[in-house]
A and B are shown apart, each in its own frame.
Chain A
Amino acid sequence: MTRQLARLGRAGIQSIERLGRGHLLLLNLLAGLADLALRPTLLIKQLYAVGVLSVAIVTVSGLFVGMVLSLQGYYILSRFGAEETLGVMVAASLVRELGPVVSALLFAGRAGSALTAEIGLMKATEQLAGLEMMAVNPVKRILTPRFFAGFLSMPLLAAMFSAIGVLGGYFVGVGLLGVDGGAYWSQMQANIDLHEDIFNGVIKSFVFGWVCTWIALFQGYDCLPTSEGVSRATTRTVVHSAFAVLGLDFVLTALMFGN
């Protein structure tokens, strides 16, 4: 009994310690921003690795999600004779929820795990310690560019996801199922609000980009420098990111849309 209690206590203390180290890392990441401004090429390199390389998976998924939404939506809406509102349904689901959330989950799987593995391996092969010995701060030089690349890429990726999804929905709804094209767009425009829907979606994806990249970098930086440690950290990145994204999505939605 007391042993269980002690184990619980130890786990709690360790999580709090980890949380503390995570926030310390975040502070250091942000402190590197000034340095980063002097070396924009570092950021560009990472925008490529984090952002550009995620475009394919995000846009292809966005296309299919939009098409499925349109197909499902059509069957339900047509029962009520409300096919004209198909555009609203597709666009609202994409812009408010699926765009930011699904692209963040894809991002965590594609870019986040790669970041963790990269940083973890750099730690395991003493590259980070080597930088420190060259009087170069590895957090500022290696981690900060990756962090801001993730933070900036996420909203762009989510916007691509939503835009492609809306077009995919148009293709299925108007092209294949025969919904009126004019109604698809006009209903959408009449009911989707720039501030309430689109800005809020962008804010969400900024938050998700921040959190996912932070988790990925922290897991890599904090991992045990062994092959097992790196592989565990990579798994943790994906799991923690998914929990964080879905949990935060609920909180943000409640704050933004509920009143």
Chain B
Amino acid sequence: MRQSRGVEITVGLFMAIGLVALFFLAMQVSNLADLSDSEGYHITAHFDNIGGLKVKAPVTMAGVTVGRVTAIDYDKETYEAVVSMTISSHYDRIPEDSFAKIFTAGLLGEKYIGLDPGGSDLFLEEGGRISMTQSSLVLEEIIGQFLFSKAQEADSGG
């Protein structure tokens, strides 16, 4: 009997450690702690060029993730990209005239959307649209700028 009790305890320990490991993966490794996608309101923004922006990319304000990109479409009429986002209902005071930009995390990192708050008293609501946007910086442009500035440096140095 004592022996089987020892087995029971070790098995209990085994299951507990296994569940803790799963819990650790869910809480510490994944984005469970972040907002869930389903709750919140939906807004859209039009961009000239979204670069490498992907569905599920974060939407941030002052560096804080407030939502995620849920869909990316192409508007045939205006030749623009239409990005749909879900913003957590927790963040319901985003001014209507906020400015949306596409940033890159690190040099080659993932694209994400950053919102700069405007000054309006009206806030974005379900189905709202951000009209002021700045497109993604395309790598070629950055390289172009870099070469240009280098050339200038060389000019002034020489």
Contacts and interface: CB of A to CB of B under 8 A. Distances in A.
A25 interface: no
Contacts of B34: 189-190
Nearest to B8: A44
A193 B18 contact: no
Contact of B106 (A82, A159, A197): A82
B93 interface: no
A168 to B, nearest CB: 13
Query: What size tier do the contact residues of chain B reach?
Result: 20 to 34
Interface residues of A, number: 36
By secondary structure, the B interface counts as helix
A188 B29 CA distance: 6
Given A48-B7, A81-B106, A159 B32 contact: no
Contacts of A257: none
Contacts of B25: 95, 159, 162-163, 166, 198
Indicate the member of B11, B13, B108 with the most A CB atoms within 10 Å.
B11
Contact of A44 (B11, B17, B18): B11
Given A52-B14, A80-B107, A193-B56, A198 B30 contact: yes
A164 B24 CA distance: 10
A237 interface: no
Contacts of A220: none
A82 to B, nearest CB: 6
Interface of B: 4, 7-8, 10-11, 13-15, 17-22, 24-26, 28-34, 56, 58, 65, 106-110
Interface of A: 41, 44-45, 47-48, 51-52, 55, 80-82, 84-85, 91, 95, 153, 155-157, 159-160, 162-164, 166, 185, 188-194, 197-198, 202
The 6 closest A-B pairs by CB, nearest first: A156-B18, A163-B21, A159-B21, A194-B30, A159-B22, A192-B30
